[in-house]
A and B are shown apart, each in its own frame.
Chain A
């Protein structure tokens, strides 16, 4: 497997949200707007890329029987750092999504990639796999966030200043209609996610089957 396919495989074929259905709790809870989705995607990317790279660097030093405590320590540390950075530099967004940033530490997607891939592969490939996993999760989050925000509020990028600073206050795009206010609530999240999942399955299954050996599946 060449490095490029490591990234693409992690992002698309083994997309943590749509293909493996991992991390659905924060995915559904936070994706009521694009900005919230971007915030969680950035925090998740920081944790998965940082922790998996470090685990790959230390993989020969960590004995088998201590690997899970060590992985959890490293992931929890990166999660806490992400929470502190969010609170310091994006306080408005922190107030909205802090709870779900803190529970990144329990996200099976991150521990899964650490155990199945980063702890067995060299740093370069682990970094690509983590970046692909982060990109796939971000893609799922932002897609769901955009669809829900458009359906529920008829806007895109509302409250952009919470993530990008005061100069982003005018970035909101108003489409002038609110088709489905339910989309902003939990039941709407399940309905929209289910429809996007069905669409994703339809598109992926329409593609010819790949022959890539699945040696590192979670």
Chain B
């Protein structure tokens, strides 16, 4: 019994070491790929290229911003839902950059699989707060509505503090 437990612990520790090493090796490339993906999505939402050197993480244009980007994380059914939010003139657009929602049920939030998110592009902030729940995916819908509410609050505070 002791030998079995020792074996499991030793192999587990070796596996953990391999995972830590792989994580350290791949982390910069993964972050670069995520940034590039977020930038491409931001440019598609904006309709033109982002200014050179501008990071879509909390990017804004001008001192008194005409538009704002922010990356955000919502609590989905099967884990975090990573979002890119775009605010312009009281309207909000969202794109999901990573999620683990159930395929065929909760993945309607993925713009590559469903037109649900693109159809909400440019929706006024107050309408995001009263979105209908998608049948069968209550937790995912609530996560998106809650995220939109939080983001709208952040964006509205940033805009209202401008020039005050």
Residues of A that sit less than 8 Å from B by CB: 29, 58, 61-63, 65-66, 69-70, 73-74, 76-77, 80-81, 84-85, 87-89, 91, 95, 99
Contacts and interface: CB of A to CB of B under 8 A. Distances in A.
B97 to A, nearest CB: 9
B33 A91 contact: yes
A66 B4 contact: yes
Contacts of B19: 77, 80-81
A141 to B, nearest CB: 18
A81 B3 contact: no
B26 A84 contact: yes
B164 interface: no
Given A63-B3, A99-B103, A73 B15 contact: yes
Interface of A is mostly: helix
Contact of A85 (B12, B26, B112): B26
Nearest to B110: A95
A84 B33 contact: no
Nearest to B12: A73
Interface centre among B1, B19, B22, B34 (most CB of A within 10 A): B22
A81 B100 CA distance: 18
30 contacts: A29-B103, A62-B11, A63-B3, A63-B7, A65-B1, A66-B5, A66-B8, A70-B7, A70-B8, A70-B11, A73-B8, A73-B11, A73-B12, A73-B15, A77-B18, A80-B19, A80-B22, A84-B22, A84-B30, A85-B22, A87-B30, A87-B33, A88-B25, A88-B30, A89-B26, A91-B30, A91-B33, A91-B34, A91-B36, A99-B103
